[in-house]
Structure 1
Amino acid sequence: MIAKKINFNIYMYLLLPGLILSVFAVPMFLYSVEHIYLYILVAVQSYLIGCTPFGYLIHRIRTGEDIRNYGSGKIGTSNVFRTSGGVIGLLVLCLDASKGIAVIYICRQLFIDESMLVISTLLALVGHNWPVILSFKGGRGIAIAAGTLLVLTTIPALIGLAIFLPVTLISKYLSLGSILGVIGAVISIVIMTFFGIYPIQYSVYGIIAGVVIIFQHRDNIKRIMSRTERKIGQPAVKIK
């Protein structure tokens, strides 16, 4: 019998949005049937907001080239930082973070409940990482998650930043700082939820977003362990 090779990424693209939607499916439907159409509209809109590829667009406008052909092949802040410099990288960081903030703003204006708000922000994260308009080749989710956490859970977001900065400066690995910062932020959210500071939905967001982000850094983790990860200051090279 010939073993069939399964492309795990394809399954992630197909199953992850459904998994996220199912987390709060029951309370969403119990809340009121009349809200279903609004929820569907907000969910789709959130994913599409996440799909906006600021890193890709800015690099394409500046150089005429596809940023996915350089460095890590991602369209997020760290790859833009390596290919276009710190100023452009900071611009993309702010724009990507604003996507999460925009989704929260829309949900608040529509008086969306916390469960659907979390689903919407997670779908925005999925859109950022796997944008349909770029054949599902996006970023890693750090910036958009940072923007989301900064609004929903400010203290854990700052704790994550407090971990990210020294780890990155000492190790010179952006990826290591990002991973440990995410872990620190998620643990902080869970602890503060336990003490009643945040609703359980925020912990669900933190855990799912954290898992997704670390999954997106799996190649970085391998390179860190083999000591081949690029350090700050090393430019992105063209992918052969």
Structure 2
Amino acid sequence: MIIAAALVVTAYLLGSISSAIIVCRLMGLPDPRTQGSNNPGATNVLRIGGKKAAAITLFGDSLKGLIPMLVAHLLGVGPAVLAMTGLAAFIGHLFPVFFGFRGGKGVATALGVQFGLGAAVFGFWVPVGLPVALIWLFVAKVLKFSSLAALISMPLAPLIVWLMGLPPVLIGMQLVMTGLLIWRHRSNIEKLLTGREGRLTGQPGPSDQD
């Protein structure tokens, strides 16, 4: 119980570290909570500061989900504790204690958690995050909407977890993460439906908002 509690609390605190805000401060960029879409995430950082800042933010947010899962694996915890650890990291990103509980939408951190999950498929270990990431990249590349890529790839994640034969509690974890992620994208859904959603570009600029 002590190990489980320590993992969950540490995962939440790690998730609460906002890569977007820290990267923008270090690179002399505006606070992402006050520019563009006002979302402290990699897509908004892309619009504010360009590809380099966005890539660092994406990597940092992914690590927040991946590291706690890898530590949990090394400690040999069961599926239930693994699920709570992943969910804690994800919720930390959405509601960070260090930044007034005003966080991002969770795509990169969810992918980090998913890369920390895996199953033996076709004789070798496959991270759950790999197919999810490939779906996201394909949709984003073709349609140029980061939010739409998330709204297509993440609802498929529970199905992928199930197909890989992982325990039901981990499927449940992914269902909760997917539900929260869709809820966080509710403004994007409205803008997609009304044609006001900004497309992905590699150039910074306040006019390109989601």
State the distance in 1 between where 2:87 and 2:112 align: 12
CA contact (8 A) 2:117 2:127 kept: no
State the distance in 2 between where 1:94 and 1:199 align: 28
**Which of 75, 81, 95 is residue 110 of structure 1 equivalent to?**
75
Shift of residue 52, structure 1, vs aligned partner: 1.0
Partner of 2:176: 208
The CA deviation string for residues 175-224 of structure 1, in whole angstroms up to 9 with x for no partner, is 101110112222222333xxxx2111221121111111111111100000
Q: Does 1:171 align with 2:143?
A: yes
**Which of 31, 39, 49 is residue 84 of structure 1 equivalent to?**
49
Larger deviation, residues 111-120 vs 150-159: 150-159
Partner of 2:95: 130
Shift of residue 39, structure 1, vs aligned partner: 2.4
State the distance in 1 between where 2:205 and 2:167 align: 41
Q: Which has the higher contact order (CA 8 A, sep 6+)?
A: 2
State the distance in 2 between where 1:165 and 1:106 align: 27
CA contact (8 A) 2:147 2:188 kept: yes
State the distance in 1 between where 2:65 and 2:18 align: 13
What is the aligned residue count?
A: 200
Find the residue that maps to 2:27 and give its secondary structure: helix
TM-score by length of 1: 0.77
State the distance in 2 between where 1:160 and 1:105 align: 18
Shift of residue 236, structure 1, vs aligned partner: 4.8
Q: Which amino acid aligns with 1:179?
A: L
Q: Which amino acid aligns with 1:237?
A: P
**Which of 135, 141, 147 is residue 112 of structure 2 equivalent to?**
147
Partner of 1:231: 199
State the distance in 2 between where 1:44 and 1:166 align: 35
Partner of 1:184: 156
**Which of 27, 32, 41 is residue 62 of structure 1 equivalent to?**
27
CA contact (8 A) 1:99 1:124 kept: yes
State the distance in 1 between where 2:13 and 2:205 align: 28
CA contact (8 A) 1:70 1:236 kept: no
Shift of residue 156, structure 1, vs aligned partner: 4.1
Q: Which amino acid aligns with 1:181?
A: S
CA RMSD, Structure 1 to Structure 2 (Å): 1.9
Shift of residue 60, structure 1, vs aligned partner: 1.3
Percent identity of paired positions between Structure 1 and Structure 2? 26
Report the structure number with the largest CA radius of gyration: 1
State the distance in 2 between where 1:161 and 1:44 align: 27
Structure with bigger helix share is 1
The CA deviation string for residues 16-61 of structure 1, in whole angstroms up to 9 with x for no partner, is xxxxxxxxxxxxxxxxxxx2x3322222111101001111011012
In structure 2, the CA distance between the partners of 1:105 and 1:189, relative to structure 1 (3 Å rule), is: closer
Written as runs of structure 1 = structure 2, the 5 A alignment for 1:12-91 is: 35=1, 37-63=2-28, 65-91=30-56
Question: Gaps (5+ residues) in structure 2?
Answer: 119-125
CA contact (8 A) 2:29 2:49 kept: no
State the distance in 2 between where 1:149 and 1:185 align: 8
Find the residue that maps to 1:213 and give its secondary structure: helix
In structure 2, the CA distance between the partners of 1:109 and 1:191, relative to structure 1 (3 Å rule), is: closer
Question: Gaps (5+ residues) in structure 1?
Answer: 1-34
